[in-house]
Every structure is written in structure tokens, then in C-alpha cells.
Amino acid sequence: MLADAIRSETYRLSKNRTALFWSVLFIPIMGVILATLGFVVAKANEAKLAGKLPPDMMKGGPLDLGMALVKSAGDFANPAILMFVLIGAATIYAGDYRWETWRLISARNTRPNLLTGKVAVVGLVIVLATIAALISDVIASVIQAAVFGRPLTFSMTGAAATDFGLLTLTSWARILQFTMLGLLAAVVTRSLLAALFAPLVIGVAQFFLPQLLLPMGVRPDGWLLPLLSPGMATDLLKAAIEGGASAAQLPDHAVLKGVLSLAFWIGVPFAAAVAWFNRQDLSKE
């Protein structure tokens, strides 16, 4: 039954080329185009820009694709990817209200299964977006090496591979968490626009939360800030995984705070959406 919900939602998404383009391909394509332009302009103005650009961009030894991938994995959950993945997620979450198609599918499956199926497919979209972003980063690195005449290498130690996996998982969870507010908004309001804008508004509010709470005496190393701000929680997890100097400055229980915050912001909106959907009249989708 859950498998039916996932299979049908995946099939429908596969036919929605507009949503797939904007949520999976747009940012990686733009990333490659902008990076290439940047490299070409930097190369053409190498003398003028000397000292103004990061030194490892133009000069240095071999360009290590493996390390570039580990670095990219930590940056997947950037604002641009969050926003564009949200387009696909909102389409999935609010689509059956928008197209009035709940009546076609809801009678023969349970409502929790139907919502869980949608979340699973959004999880798949995030995986696709991550793979596309990885490919985009590899292409950009190859272009960078070609433009600046640097040799390409690939090294991935066991520790680096673990970091890569954990950072990718953290970014995946952060993006999923961001879309879950869209799920709740879609179910409560039955509106695609609400599914798009509610996460953006709440995300912006969470971004500025520390500036509001710190003057009120909330401790920066306490539990409240990371629990209220999943973005901050993600930064804690990334710093803990990457190690080094920034990891040494992390507050106590940083990993636990990060994991709990993401779990809370994924689990609570999902549970609320299921509870609401279970009671909802679909007299007019």
C-alpha cells in the first residue's frame, strides 16, 4: 500500500518535466555556467585580480576532485538549492489539491500512506538534486583545471569517504526538513503558494532568530537556539563532521543538539500534517 503510493507519486513526478527541471537541474546547470564564466573572466584578468581571488582558485598544485566533492557535500543545503528543491516538493505536496485528484487516489489507500509516499518521493528528489549538484561540481572542477592548466587528481581516503557520506546525509536531512513545512502548509491551506512561501518565511525568521534571542539572554551554546533553528543545527553537525579548529570550539552535545533539531523539524510538521489530513474533508480538493 505504501509502495503503491510511492510508485504512483514517482511515476507522476517523472512526467512533470517542469517541476523536475526547476527542482533538480536548474541550479546545477546555472552552477556550471556561472563557474565557467567566472573561471574564464578570472583567467583573462589574471594579472589584475592577483591577490583579490582565493589563491587556490588559479594557482596551486593538482586539483583534487575527491576533496572538492567532500567540500561540496557540506554545501548542498545552500539557500539556492533549498529554494529550488522546494518547487518540486511543493508541487508534490499540493498537487492533488491543485489538480483536484485526491478523489482518484484517496479511496483505495490510507491517508498516512499517501502523505508518507509524497515525503518519500521528495526524499528521492533531494537525492537526484544532490547527484546533479555533485556532477555539476565535478564538471566545474574539470573546467577549472582546464582553464588554469592544473592537473586533476582524485583521492578519497576512508575518513574522507565517511565525511562525504555524513555531510551528504546531513545536507539531505536539512533540505527534507525545509520542505516539511511546505507539506504542513499544503495540507492545512490546500494551496501550492502556501506550500512554497511558508517554508521561505519561516526559514528567514529562523535565520534571524539568534539576533533576536541573544540580546534577550539566550545562551549561544545552549539547547534553545539550535532546537529552534534547524539551519544552525545543520551548521553544528557539519562542523562536528568536518573536525578541525571549528569542531574544537563547538558547544557541548553539539551533535545531539543538531540531530534532535532536525528530527524535531522533520517529525513534528509531518505528524501534524498527517493528523490534519486524517480529519480533512475532501469535499472540494
Partner 1 sequence: METVIDIRGLTKTYGTVKALDGLTLSIPRGGVYGILGPNGAGKSTLFRTLLGLIRPTEGVATVMGGRIGDPASMRRMGSMIETPRFPPFMTARQVLEWLARAHGGVSSAEIDNWLQRVGLTEAANRRVKGFSVGMLQRLGVAAALMTKPDLVILDEPTSGMDPPGIQEMRALIRSLADHDGVTVILASHQLQEVQRVCDRVAIFNKGKVITEGRVSDLTASGERLRLSVTPLAKAMSVLGDRATLEGDALVAALPRGEAAAAIKALVEGGVDIEEARWIGADLEDVFMSETGWTGVQEQNRAG
Which string of x and - marks every residue 89-128 that binds partner 1 (by CB under 8 A)? ------x---xxxxxxxxxxxx------------------
Decide: is 279 part of the binding site for partner 1 (CB under 8 A): yes
Closer Cβ to partner 1, 9 or 235, answer by number: 9
Give least dist CB 274 to partner 1, A.
15
Which among 266, 282, 263 is positioned nearest to 114, based on CA atoms? 282
Contacting residue, 15, 47, 149, 252, with partner 1 by CB under 8 A: 15
Decide: is 157 part of the binding site for partner 1 (CB under 8 A): no
How far apart are the two ends of the chain, measured CA to CA in Å?
A: 22
Closer Cβ to partner 1, 8 or 36, answer by number: 8
Q: Which stretch binds partner 1 (CB under 8 A): 11-19, 67-75, 126-134, 229-237?
A: 11-19
For residue 283, the SS3 value is coil
> Which residues does 148 contact at the CB level (< 8 Å), separation at least 6?
39, 43, 57, 58, 59
> Which residues does 75 contact at the CB level (< 8 Å), separation at least 6?
171
Q: How many angstroms separate the Cα of 68 from the Cα of each of 40, 43, 76, 234, 243?
A: 19, 20, 12, 20, 16
Give least dist CB 200 to partner 1, A.
25
Closer Cβ to partner 1, 92 or 173, answer by number: 92
Give least dist CB 187 to partner 1, A.
15
Q: Which stretch binds partner 1 (CB under 8 A): 15-23, 32-40, 188-196, 238-246?
A: 15-23
CA angle 215, 218, 223 (to 5 degrees): 150
Which string of x and - marks every residue 51-90 that binds partner 1 (by CB under 8 A)? ----------------------------------------
Decide: is 282 part of the binding site for partner 1 (CB under 8 A): yes
Number of residues forming the site for partner 1 (CB under 8 A): 28
Which among 267, 187, 196, 194 is positioned nearest to 227, based on CA atoms? 267
